Amino acid sequence: MRIAVFGSTHQEKYLDGISLLFKTLSQFKVNLGIQEKFYRYLCCSIPEPPITADVITDDTFDADIAISLGGDGTFLRTAKCVSHKNIPILGINTGHLGYLTDAKMNEVETALNDIMNNRYKIERRTLLEVVTHDTERAIPEPFALNEVAILRQDTSSMISVETSVNNTYFTTYKGDGLIISTPTGSTAYNLSVGGPILDPTSQNIVLSPISPHSLTMRPLVLRDDAEIAIKAHSRADMFNVSIDGRSNPLPIGSVITIRKAPFTIKVIQSLRHSFINTLRDKLMWGTDVR
């Protein structure tokens, strides 16, 4: 089995667990590849750096499984690296919340044993694709696992986001911007602006305005085969298209289309994993702190 490992370089509290992970992988005699930046970090941080068959420096690598060691940010970066390769991702949480990750560091041996013995399930997660209509300003990394956010730039004034759905004018959102979220991203930026939480495997997308200047502007859930066309208006010369936190400034008046990507992200989950348990345990759903 070929395994590619991606990780955060801020892992001081978890170095013993990371060493155990690589020792366990070596016992299974897997063909191991490690992202270059993470490998350099490990060589300086743990007494016995892992032996790797490949240091991953670009997107020419191949693997049967990718492991993400970190929090949700690391998971999103891993997803960006493997999105077009159809490689399933196992997320091991060494971050703060780790909503996207399935296993904790104290579950590493169990998780790897389950992988090697084919005791796991795979969830397919929808991605969004951003298409610009100006060939000179194509977005280099146009796929989002969490969300696409249309944001104002270089001004405190409102941005107006003219929005069409399936070639039909819908409305113009006036405020700080607009979030178009996947089900996976419904618990991220979308949640912070009052958007609904969706089951991550549902076939929907959410439009959630950011600080709307109207009481009639509320989040909207659409089918994920809807195409959203956006044209921004503002006093500034530019606006920002944020794709999973990656900023892409575009000139005011640019038209972009947001649609379901032609491929999905495959997320490895334990057979014991439950969306309801994740809501309760990680988001403290219904917890009474009185």
Please name the residue that has the structure tokens 């490895």.
268
Residue 150, domain member (yes or no): yes
More confident site: 156 or 117: 117
Q: Does one domain contain both 114 and 140?
A: no
Rounded Cα distance between 282 and 42, Å, is: 28
Q: Does one domain contain both 203 and 252?
A: yes
Any idea what the CATH number is for the domain that residue 63 is in?
3.40.50.10330
Q: Does one domain contain both 36 and 136?
A: no
Please name the residue that has the structure tokens 């640019």.
254
Residue 290, domain member (yes or no): no
Using an 8 Å Cβ cutoff, are 258 and 148 in contact? yes
Mean pLDDT of 207-225: 95
Q: Does one domain contain both 106 and 217?
A: no
Q: Does one domain contain both 253 and 274?
A: no
Residue 287, domain member (yes or no): no
Q: Does one domain contain both 102 and 195?
A: no
With cut-offs at 50, 70 and 90, classify the pLDDT of residue 92: very high
Number of domains in the chain: 2
Rounded Cα distance between 20 and 206, Å, is: 40
Maximum mean pLDDT: which of 79-83, 145-149, 211-215, 277-281: 145-149
Q: Does one domain contain both 257 and 131?
A: yes
| Closest to 65 in 3D by CA, of 2, 107, 116 | 2
Residue 187, domain member (yes or no): yes
Residue 90, domain member (yes or no): yes
Residue 288, domain member (yes or no): no
Tell me which amino acid residue 143 is: F
Q: Does one domain contain both 257 and 212?
A: yes
Q: Does one domain contain both 133 and 258?
A: yes
| Closest to 69 in 3D by CA, of 40, 53, 52, 90 | 90
With cut-offs at 50, 70 and 90, classify the pLDDT of residue 98: low
Mean pLDDT of 156-173: 96
Rounded Cα distance between 51 and 108, Å, is: 18
Cα 244 to Cα 35, 64, 103, 219, distances in angstroms: 20, 25, 22, 19
Active site positions, annotated: 72
Residue 289, domain member (yes or no): no
Provide the residue range defining the domain that includes 178: 127-262
Mean pLDDT of 22-34: 92
Residues paired with 54 in a beta bridge: 33
Any idea what the CATH number is for the domain that residue 162 is in?
2.60.200.30
pTM (predicted TM-score): 0.88
2 burial via Cβ count (<10 Å: 0-12, 13-18, 19+): middle
Q: Does one domain contain both 131 and 257?
A: yes
Q: Does one domain contain both 253 and 139?
A: yes
Least confident stretch, 92-96, 119-123, 166-170, 259-263: 92-96
Q: Does one domain contain both 9 and 133?
A: no
Using an 8 Å Cβ cutoff, are 69 and 32 in contact? no
